[in-house]
Every structure is written in structure tokens, then in C-alpha cells.
Structure 1
Amino acid sequence: MNTPTPAATTPAEQGGTVETLAGLNAFTAAMADAPHLGHILWYSVFEPQAPVSRDQLELWFRQLGLDETFLPPAIRQIDAFEQITGPRGVHASYRLAHAHGEAPVTTTRRRNRRDDDSRTLGVTLMIRHVSREDNKLVRNLVREVRDENASELEYDPRLATIEFWRDPAQTGVPGAGVLNIEPNETAIALLCESEQAKVRAVLDEVRETYAQACRYYTTDRLRAVVRTYVEGLSAVKVRPSGGVYFVHRYHDGAIDALKGLVDRLGGDSELVRVPLPDTAEQRDMVVRAITTKAKEDLQKLAADIATANRDGATEAHMQGLVKRFQELQKQADEHERMLATSLGETQDALKVVHAQVSTLLVSTW
């Protein structure tokens, strides 16, 4: 498809796209009253200009007339804990120059060794999983020390215990809980003063980040909101790697509202749309894209049904397969209605998969 796509995908790269976007906006304005089949669109969601809470997002949805069924789930405290103590959560890395005669900066085991050299030590403070119990989750703040000259690793396995107690007040709110941090003062006291300060700064960051994560949506979650909304409009991916969609003109009003939502996020977030002229060539191109995507989805569904027939399927698994088939049928019917054309190959493939679904239902029930 000879459709312009954004040259930049990060804020740092977007400076070179001002002229391109201005040209696209001018083209979009010129096409406002011209017959068009729909829009080619893409979006980028980066760190919002201001934190976005659940209340704020609900307000924007109502003001813009967006379908509130696409609102994300409410923020859960347990999810905030998992986020900030997980692999992509709070951590710190730094270097320490250690010369003979200085205050000890490594683990107790290393301090008992003879140390006559000067060396650089790489230190990482990280959070590691300990246990997941019925009433709490437990993780430790771990200090990893790397001697860059000797390529050796040593650990202080517990500078602090970081716990999430599940709903101690018994509120019944899904995912509710309380963060508790217990510094290991004995282990921390063995570190030099500068490192003690770093450890306490990391623990403060855990508290502050957790409080923020309990109130505001992450950028990833906001990006998922936009993606789910676009795909909920029967959008068709027109680039194999994804990220660029065709949306029929029937949904122009929803796209206007969704662009308003992305604009309200501010910062470098944007939703760009380009009208697609309603010509025979462009219509055929869209039909080919729809047919290709439908074939891929139906082939995958057919394979999953065959596996379920062979290995057996639980009722929940079977219902999931039936739901996928119904969604594909709905999308095909909607595209035929909007484009006023027949998706013959897709409908033929749907008949084959429908027979498979029927066989699965008969064999299971």
C-alpha cells in the first residue's frame, strides 16, 4: 500500500516530521468533503503531559462521547505492586571506586579477604521475588556486587523485605492490599555512608512509585486503550508488522473522538489519519487486506479447533473457540456491509470453520 507512514516512532525522532504532518493535515482538510472510503491511521502514545487517573479518563470518555465499554479495568493495588517490584520496576546501578585503606564497600565475605588493590566495583540494587502466599507477596531488595577486574559476583540477599499484604482490612475490593517495607538495618549499617543513602533512596522510590501506580495509569495501559479502541472499530491492519490501520468511514465520528482523547494526553502522543479516496483501486486494495487477514485468523482458528478435537477441550476452552469464530463472522459481515462487496473467499472459509465448530460442539456435548 502506497500510504505515507510516520517517519518517527520516538519523541527524539519526531522533530523531523513536522512538515510531513503539516502536509498530511492539509491533505486531510482538502479531502473533508470529498468521497472517501475511510481513513488510514496510526498512533503513538508516549508519557502523558500530566498523570491520568481513572476519574480523569472516565471524564474524557464522557465528554468526547467515547464508548465506555473500552475503558480499561480499574487500577488494582496488587497490579501496582507487581509493576514496581517486577523486572521492569525500581532498581539502581552505580560504580564504586575502592582503594586500599578506604571504608569497606562490599559484602561481609569479601571484607574478610586480603584487599591490597584498587579496583572498580559495579553495584546493582534490584528487587527479587521470594514467595507468593495466600495473604501476602514477599520480595527482597538485593545488592549485587561485581568486581570488574576479577569478573566476580557477590550478593547481599536482603537489604530490605518488601511485602504486599492482601486486603488486610477485608474491604472486598479486588486486588486491594497494603505495601510494607522492612529495612534490614543490620545489613545496611555494614555499607559505607554513600551506599546507605542509595539504599534508602531506592526504598523511598519504591514507596513513591507505588503510590503513583495506585492512582495513575501507565503509558503502556493508555497505549493499550487506544489500540483496543481502534481494533474494536473493525480496523484492518494494512501493514504486515502492524501499527497502520484502515478504518471505514462509518466510524469517522469515533475516530474524531479518539483523536481528541490522544490529543488530551498531550506530550508527544498523536493519532494521524489520512483519508482514503473511494476509488475502485483503493477499494480492491482494502478488500485484499481484509481477505488476507481473515484467512490468517481462520487458519489459526481451524488449527486450534483441530487440536481441541484431537486432545479434548474444556467447556471454557470450547466457548473461547466459538467466541473467536463468532467474532470473525461478525467482522466479515460488517466489512461486506460497509464496503458493499462480497468477501467470497472469506465467507467460504468461514463455512468450513463453522463445520469444524459444529463437530467440536457435537463431540463435546
Structure 2
Amino acid sequence: MRKALTWVIAGLLGVAVSASQAQTLYTTGFDGSPFVNGNLSGQDGWVTTDSPETPFLGTVQGSFSFSPSRSVRINASQTIDSNWWWTPLNHSIHGSATVIQIECMIYVDRASGSASTLWGVDIYDGSLPLTRRVATIAIDTSNHLLVWDSVAFVDTGVIVPPNTWGLFRMNLNYAAGERNTSVYFNGARVAYRRAFGLGANDILADVDFYHVDAGGNDSAYFDNFVVRAMADGDGDGVPDSQDSCLNTAAGDPINATGCSTLDNDGDGVLNDADNCPDTPTCAIVNGAGCPFDSDGDSVMNGCDNCDNVPNGPGEDNQADADSDGRGDACDVCPFRRPGDTTGDGIVDGRDAQLFVRILTGGSGTPDETCACDVNEDTFVNEADIPALVTLLLNQ
């Protein structure tokens, strides 16, 4: 655990605690003033654990960068130690801006030499006497992207191509009940709701360039470094300015753009797009998750046994005397199921005999004749035969 140098240095440098609003806490491409070529430590308040400082270990240089004209190069071949570089921030998290967003371009140069154990970005809080790790991203010797989760690194399964610039973004969510990190690599979310380090407080002390050497002699470049405190009204960890769904319910899992992946009412429309969040599962809904009620009887289409004839609570309350699924109000044959000509509750050979008799001109009671209209088109004719055969086969 790194010593709490930040607070001491902050006092000496007169670093102010940031205001409680959304803001850019720090941004640099290391290009212009006050940066010049040379050791990073000592420029624009940057400090390092490398003490006494090793020449050319962590430098601002202009020979290679993502955007003109400079970047920071950390050169493992200069030492076998592990080191951090940072500029004190000492920002108190406030309810108006609960997301800390960190962006950085990183290029790990594996063109020659052996790989260092880790390269990455490491975030610390303001605990005393020892600062506590809040979150970390790190690229290991096999180019796997690791993230910190509470007490240990976990492998995201993402391979970071060496010798290529990559954009890393970390969203640190300090909202009540959250305290976790999501990580994006080149725009794609690769880690989600990874817990802050145990005991981390609500002071963002610093965001560090981080190197664990263990005998490596490679190098890494860091450029376009930004730290922002950002508003997040729904507390889902995606800042409002980047959130496609600004009112996600607390605790809902979200996709990369901040929209809930849940569908609580099971209507096929996800929560954040659902304007009718408590629709019965039987209902037919539109694209906004709201049901139809064609006959205005307060029973929604799909749940209504007569979609186009009012038979809701104000009428016969969905009465269905023959239990065939079609309400009496719209049932051509309300007291007999289609095909059940004998009225005994099943469709069998006896029903088929009576059906043939009536179909060929024989007499029958009104209910018997009604049941012979198996396809319910108000006629008893040859068109009813396929439907009757289906009923007989399904008994």
C-alpha cells in the first residue's frame, strides 16, 4: 500500500480542494507549457515514489506521442523497482458529481526486451496514514487487461494489443450503495461494477501512472490524460452527458450506454424504454410497453377474452360459460365448446357422429348445431371438418 505522500505535498504546493460541482479536475496532453522535455517529476506538480529520482525513468519527451507534440514515457530498463507518478488532486466527492471519469491513451512498447509485470493507471484515496487503493487498470506480461475488484486483480479476458495506442476510460461510481468501477477499452465496456478497494473513502487523492517492473526492460507511453468529476442523476455510473437513459432505477443492471437491461413486467420492452412498467404479462403492448384496449372495457388486448366487444368489469366481467377461452359476449356458441356437440366436455367419436348427421342435413338442437360450427364462421359446412379433425386428434 502506497504511503500517503499526497496530502503532505498538497499542503506544500497549496493545492486547493475542488468545488462540489461537475468539473475537469485535471487534463493534459503534456504538449505545451508548463511541460518541457525532461523528467516528469517536478513539472506541473507531478511527483513520484522514485526517490532519489532515476534519470530517464519517467520523462516528458517528444520523440513519440499520440497527439503532437509530447507524451510521458516510463522506461523499465532504468530500474527494477515499482513506481508511481501523479499530481495531487485531493478532490472531495460531492453528491452533485458522483462519477469520477478518467481517460488516458496508453501504448505499451513490447518491441524488444522482456515484459514488465504491470503497466497501468492506479487510483488512491485520502486515507491517513496510508492511502488506500480505490481502483486500478493494469496490463500484465501477457497483455491481458486486469482490473482491481475490492481486494485483488481480476482478468477481464481482454487482450490489449502491444505497440498500439489504446484509449482507456474508467468510471468510478461514488453514488450511495454503489462504490464501484466500470472500465471501457477503445469505447467498449470490458469491466462492470468492480468494487472499490476495501475501506476507500470519498477523497480522490490522486490518479497515478503505475509500473510494476520485476526485471522487465520494456517501456510504456501515456498521453491525453483527463480526470473529470461528472454529474450522474440516476447513480448508475454513466455520467448524465453520456447516459442514454437518465432515469434508470437504482440497482438495475445497465448496458454500456446506461440503459437498464431488465424487463420487470416481462412485456418485451426493457425498463428504461417502458412507459407502462406494470403491464400484465398477458397484454399485447406497443413499442413503448403500453397495452391496447380495443373495446375500452378496461381489460387489455391479449388478456381480454373478447378484444372487440366490451365485457369487462362493467359488463359481464369476462364470463365464459363453456370455458373455451372466448367470452360469452363474443362467443358464437357460448354454451358449447366448438366441436363438443354432445356437451360432455370432450371432443370424441360421439361428437363426430352428431357432426356428420347435422352436416348432412340432419336435425339438432340449437346448442348442438352451434357446436358443429367448429371454425366459428356462423356456418356449418365442409370448412368445419379440418378444425374438428384437429380437435379429435388432440384429445
TM-score between both structures, scaled by the size of structure 2 = 0.22
The structure in which a higher percent of residues are strand is 2
Q: Which structure ranks higher in relative contact order (CA pairs < 8 Å, sequence separation ≥ 6)?
A: 1
The structure in which a higher percent of residues are helix is 1
